[in-house]
Amino acid sequence: MDAAELEWVAWTTPVTTAFGNEIAASDLSGKTVNCHQHILADAISIVGPLLAAGARVRMAPCNADSTDDDAVAHLRSMGAEIRGRAGMSAAERLDALAWLASEPADALCDMGGELIATTATAGYRPAGALEATTTGLHLLSGLDIPFPVLDWNGIALKDLIHNRHHVGAETWPAFTAITGLSMYGREVVVVGFGPVGQGVALRARDLGAIVTVVDRDPVRLVRAQHYGCRVGDFAHAVQRASVVVTATGRDGVIAAGQIANLNDGTILMNVGHSNREIDVEWLDTHPRYTLRRHLDRYELPGRRVFLLNCGSLVNLAAGLGVGAPQMFDPFLAIMLLGLNEILQGGTLDLAAGVQRYPAKLESKVALALVERGDH
């Protein structure tokens, strides 16, 4: 990454950059941070200040399909230790996770809960961890985690802003960049009408799609109707669908039997953190043809099915150039301040297990956003 590109990363993440300058001037010598996250250019805004303050940073991708090799190279040049690259196999990604969890750390930054669970199993006791996803919270639920985990998935800034608005704003430009298709008149089924699903469904509707929502919660279905969406069960909803989107954060939402009954030419995509909401393993038992980057065609008996970004988060598919780094600025700041809180001893009095992310830090970020006035 050249100097101009780095300048633009800082320019588009002004709140994180401002907090980062303060943290970079502190002393974190002897501290280690293990990060299991999407490794994209915006990670520089988090990792840079920690390295400048003297911390050791080790990283592995929570999702290989959202890894940017240029960002990896630059982070390594800054001093971060990284095991990851774009297009890693599932086995390689798990090997990288095992490497990351093979050494103790003072703080963990996780997206998906795997690093937290693996670290606990290994017997290490960091001062604290951050978890960013619904998928991760599902994984950690019921596990005995012997250190505090700050949940920032459920805070208002994340749930009401990023989950509800930002994912939808990035999903459909990514869809068009990958497929070359517009949304006008397209029959779209959105599976899951939580905050992420709402944003994805309503943005598709605004772009001219005809949207049907599938959800197990009847209250959510009533809400979808009030937003002008059709509702139905999966089997009936997909009979006319040309695009099916999963947005639940859970594995196995669309199983083999359901895929086998899709229309010829249905496009499958996922925006939930779990990259196995769609049964990709079953699809991979059929002939597969890569048509272009992030677009594969599978030949099933009597029909073809298209899959975007290998079933991983389509809004974070690497290399599309459709992302808006400014939208991630508040959440990069949330992560950076949370890690600094852990490293400075702010979690020493917290009970073990999942805890709410500190309200004082969320308010600090929100106030910085309001004062800037351009988010």
Model pTM?
Answer: 0.84
Give the 3-state secondary structure of residue 339. helix
- Whether residue 329 sits in one domain with residue 311: no
- Whether residue 330 sits in one domain with residue 274: no
- Whether residue 240 sits in one domain with residue 127: no
Domain range for residue 270? 166-316
CATH number, residue 105? 3.40.50.1480
CATH number, residue 178? 3.40.50.720
- Whether residue 140 sits in one domain with residue 62: yes
> What is the total count of domains within the chain?
2
List, as own/partner pairs, every contact residues 164-168 make where C-beta atoms lie below 8 angstroms and the sequence separation is at least 24, other chains included.
Answer: 164/195, 164/196, 164/198, 164/199, 165/199, 166/199, 166/324, 166/327, 166/328, 167/196, 167/199, 167/200, 167/247, 167/271, 167/315, 168/196, 168/198, 168/199, 168/200, 168/201, 168/202, 168/203, 168/204
Kindly report the backbone phi and psi dihedral angles of residue 184, in degrees, each rounded to the nearest multiple of 5, phi listed first.
Answer: -60, 120
Task: Show pLDDT as tens, one digit a residue, over the chain (375 residues).
Answer: 777 877 887 888 899 999 999 999 999 999 999 999 999 888 999 999 999 999 999 999 998 778 889 999 999 999 999 999 988 888 999 999 999 999 999 999 999 999 999 999 999 999 999 999 888 998 999 899 999 999 998 888 887 787 778 888 889 999 999 999 999 999 999 999 998 999 999 999 999 999 999 999 999 999 999 999 999 999 999 998 999 999 998 888 999 999 988 999 999 999 987 778 999 999 999 999 999 989 999 999 999 999 999 998 898 876 666 555 567 888 899 999 999 999 999 999 999 999 999 999 999 999 998 987 655
